[in-house]
Amino acid sequence: MKIYLIPGLGYDERIFKNLDFQEFNVECINWTEPKQNETLHDFSIRIFENKQNGIENIILIGHSLGGIVSQEIATNYKIEKIILLSSIKSDEENPLHFRILKPLGIYKIFTKELCIRTVKYWGNKHGFETDEDKTLFKSMLSKQTNTYLRWALKELAIWKSPTLPSSTMLIQISGEKDKNFPIKLIDKPNYIIEKGNHIMCYKQPEKINEIILNEIKNGI
């Protein structure tokens, strides 16, 4: 068995750093630069090339946009289970504030510099409550390019959920206080984390860890 972690938009492996996967074989797939005119589906398939390598049982754990990428991967590769952290399983769960980014062209004005400068104003509502949280966010986002950021926001806005193979189990863990993907739009998540925000896997690792380990061991 192997577990692949896929961070959300603007994040890297550090969003998972407070989780403990014990003895399991875990690897993080960080974001890379998209190719010109590449779709999210094609991007997802590309970053997973050579990751299967004869491994029988693969679990994908995707945070936010990483959960969407996980679903795209599962359309081309044999994936036993997908665990969504602060993510969505259907385009019907995608909120209006993301869906309007493409038709209104709003994604074009987003830059990492703007996000980094303004996190002190919006960070608290999205889980970045302490100076340490905000510093971590700035560090993760600063590694990305504006080309990637705009591309990812555009692809999120137009994403249509794929049909997953019946052999792939999908587990959704949603936060009660998630402002990015509001719980009111999530249709019957498997788990709801009380007071959980969009970065609950970093801020409330004990609760998330217990669920994840149980789900992993259920597949053994």
> Mean pLDDT across the stretch 74-98?
97
Confidence class for position 71, pLDDT limits 50, 70, 90: very high
Give pTM, 2 decimals. Answer: 0.95
d(CA 40, CA 193): 28
d(CA 104, CA 108): 9
For residues 189-209, one letter each, b for 16 or more C-beta atoms within 10 angstroms of the residue's C-beta and e for the rest, the string is bebebeebbbbbbbbbbebbb
pLDDT in tens, 6-50: 999 999 999 999 999 988 999 999 999 999 999 999 999 999 998
Instruction: Say if residues 171 and 215 touch (Cβ distance below 8 Å).
Output: yes
Nearest partner of 194 among 211, 174, 214, judged by Cα: 174
Does residue 195 surpass a pLDDT of 90? yes
- Amino acid identity of residue 174, one-letter, is S
Does residue 220 surpass a pLDDT of 80? no
Instruction: Say if residues 197 and 127 touch (Cβ distance below 8 Å).
Output: yes
- pLDDT above 70 covers a percentage of the chain that reads 99
Does residue 99 surpass a pLDDT of 60? yes
Q: Please tell me what DSSP assigns to residue 167.
A: T
Q: Which residue is listed with tokens 């896929």?
A: 6
pLDDT in tens, 122-153: 999 889 999 999 999 999 999 999 999 999 99
Nearest partner of 198 among 122, 118, 143, judged by Cα: 122
